[in-house]
C-alpha cells in the first residue's frame, strides 16, 4: 500500500486504489444488507424449504407464517405489550425529565451542582449491572402487598416496566436536554417574566416549544432502546402475559430449535425489526445528526 501511494506516476495505481475502496465498501454493504434481506425472504418460506439450499429464493408467499406467529406464538399480544410499554415509558420520561433538565440547566439554586453531578454519575451505572437488585426490590414489594392486600402489583406489570425504563433513561436524557437548554439565551425568560408569566408558564409556553429538536432526538433514541430492550423485560416479566416482543422472540428462537418451526420464527423476527426499520428510513437523517449532537450513548 505504501508503495502504491509513493508511486505517483501511474494512473493505473490510482485506479487500483479506487477499485480497492469500492470493493471494501461493497463488501461491508453486502454483509449488512444480505442477512437482513435474507430474514425477510425466509419469513415467507414454507417449513420444508428450510431443509434445502439456504440461498434458494422462496417458492411462494407463505403468509401463514405471520398468522402462526401472531396467533400461536402470541406475537400479537407481545406486540401490544411492546407498544404500550414503549409509549408509556417515553411519556413518563418526557414529563419527568424535561422540567428537571430545565431547572438544572437554567436555575441557580443551592444544590444545583450536587444534583447535576448525581445525574452525571448515573451515566456510568449500567442497567444490566443492577437488574437483579431491582428484581429483588419488586419481589419484596409484592410480598408486602400480598400480606396486606392479598394481591401483587409490581412484577409482571408493564406499567412498572415502563416506569423502570423511564427511570434508567433519566441520566442520559437529562444530560442531553440540559445541554441544549444551556445554549438558549437568558433573554427569553426575562422577557416572559416582564410580561407577567409565572415560572411554570414560562417553562411550558416559552422554553419547551424551543426544545422541540432535542425532544425529538430524545424520543428517537429512547424509542429504539425501549423497543429493543430485553434483559429487564426478561427478568421482570416472569409470566407469559406481560412479555414484550424481544422476549417473545427469544422464546420463539428456543422453540424453533426444538420444534423445527423456522418460518414462524423468521416471521417473528420481521415483526420485531420492521417498526424500527421503517422509523429509521423515515428519520435517518435526524437520527445520525442527533447522534452527533448528543454525543455518546452508554
Segment 238 to 267, residues that bind other proteins, using CB under 8 A: 246, 249-250, 253, 265-266
By CB under 8 A, name the one of 42, 73, 192, 218 that touches other proteins.
42
- 277: contact with other proteins by CB under 8 A: yes
Q: Which of 16, 80, 120, 137 binds other proteins (CB under 8 A)?
A: 137
- At residue 12, what are phi and psi to the nearest 5 degrees? -60, -40
Q: Using CA atoms, how far apart are residues 244 and 288, in angstroms rounded to an integer?
A: 27
152 lies in the binding site for other proteins (CB under 8 A): no
- Torsion sign, CA atoms 93, 99, 102, 107: negative
Min dist CB 270 to other proteins, Å, is 9
Q: Does 198 bind other proteins (CB under 8 A)?
A: yes
* Cα–Cα distance, 101 to 181 (Å, whole number): 8
User: CA torsion 129→130→131→137, rounded to 10°?
Assistant: 160
| C-alpha grid cell, residue 22 | 469500492
Q: Counting contacts by CB under 8 A, is residue 228 touching other proteins?
A: yes
Site membership for other proteins, residue 61 (CB under 8 A)? no
Q: With binding defined as CB under 8 A, does residue 292 bind other proteins? A: yes
b/e string for 59-98 if b means 16 or more Cβ within 10 A?
A: eeebeebbebbbeebbbebbbebbeebbebbbebbbebbb
27 touches other proteins by CB under 8 A: no
Does position 148 bind other proteins by CB under 8 A?
no
Of positions 15, 33, 113, 190, contacts other proteins by CB under 8 A: 33
Closer residue to other proteins, CB minimum distance, 70 or 174: 174
Select the residue interacting with other proteins from 16, 19, 28, 41 (CB under 8 A). Answer: 28
**Choice from 46, 235, 255, 286 touching other proteins (CB under 8 A):** 235
The length of the chain, given as a count of residues: 298
- Decide: is 19 part of the binding site for other proteins (CB under 8 A): no
- Give the whole-angstrom CA distance, residue 235 versus residue 250: 13
Residues 65-94 that bind other proteins (CB under 8 A): none
Amino acid at each position: 500500500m505504501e508503495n502504491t501511494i509513493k508511486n505517483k506516476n501511474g494512473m493505473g495505481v490510482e485506479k487500483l486504489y479506487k477499485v480497492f475502496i469500492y470493493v471494501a465498501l461493497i463488501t461491508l454493504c453486502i454483509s449488512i444488507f444480505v442477512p437482513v434481506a435474507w430474514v425477510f425472504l425466509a419469513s415467507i418460506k414454507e417449513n420444508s424449504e428450510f431443509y434445502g439450499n439456504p440461498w434458494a429464493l422462496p417458492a411462494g408467499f407463505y403468509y401463514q407464517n405471520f398468522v402462526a406467529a401472531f396467533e400461536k406464538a402470541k406475537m400479537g399480544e407481545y406486540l401490544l405489550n411492546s407498544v404500550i410499554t414503549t409509549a408509556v415509558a417515553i411519556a413518563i420520561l418526557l414529563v419527568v425529565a424535561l422540567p428537571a433538565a430545565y431547572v438544572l440547566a437554567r436555575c441557580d439554586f443551592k444544590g444545583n451542582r450536587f444534583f447535576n453531578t448525581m445525574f452525571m454519575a448515573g451515566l456510568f451505572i449500567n442497567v444490566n449491572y443492577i437488574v437483579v437488585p431491582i428484581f429483588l426490590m419488586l419481589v419484596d414489594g409484592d410480598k408486602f402487598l400480598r400480606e396486606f392486600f392479598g394481591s401483587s402489583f409490581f412484577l409482571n406489570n408493564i406499567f412498572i416496566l415502563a416506569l423502570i425504563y423511564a427511570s434508567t433513561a433519566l441520566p442520559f436524557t437529562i444530560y442531553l436536554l440540559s445541554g441544549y437548554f444551556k445554549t438558549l439565551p437568558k433573554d427569553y425568560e426575562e422577557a416572559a417574566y416582564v410580561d407577567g408569566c409565572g415560572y411554570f408558564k414560562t417553562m411550558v409556553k416559552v422554553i419547551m416549544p424551543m426544545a422541540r429538536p432535542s425532544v425529538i432526538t430524545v424520543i428517537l433514541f429512547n424509542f429504539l432502546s425501549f423497543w429493543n430492550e430485553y434483559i429487564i423485560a426478561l427478568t421482570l416479566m416472569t409470566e407469559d402475559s406481560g412479555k414484550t416482543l424481544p422476549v417473545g422472540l427469544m422464546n420463539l428462537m428456543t422453540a424453533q430449535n426444538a420444534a423445527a418451526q423456522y418460518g414462524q420464527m423468521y416471521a417473528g423476527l420481521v415483526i420485531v425489526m420492521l417498526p424500527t426499520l421503517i422509523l429509521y428510513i423515515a428519520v435517518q437523517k435526524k437520527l445520525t445528526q442527533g447522534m452527533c449532537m448528543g454525543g455518546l450513548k452508554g
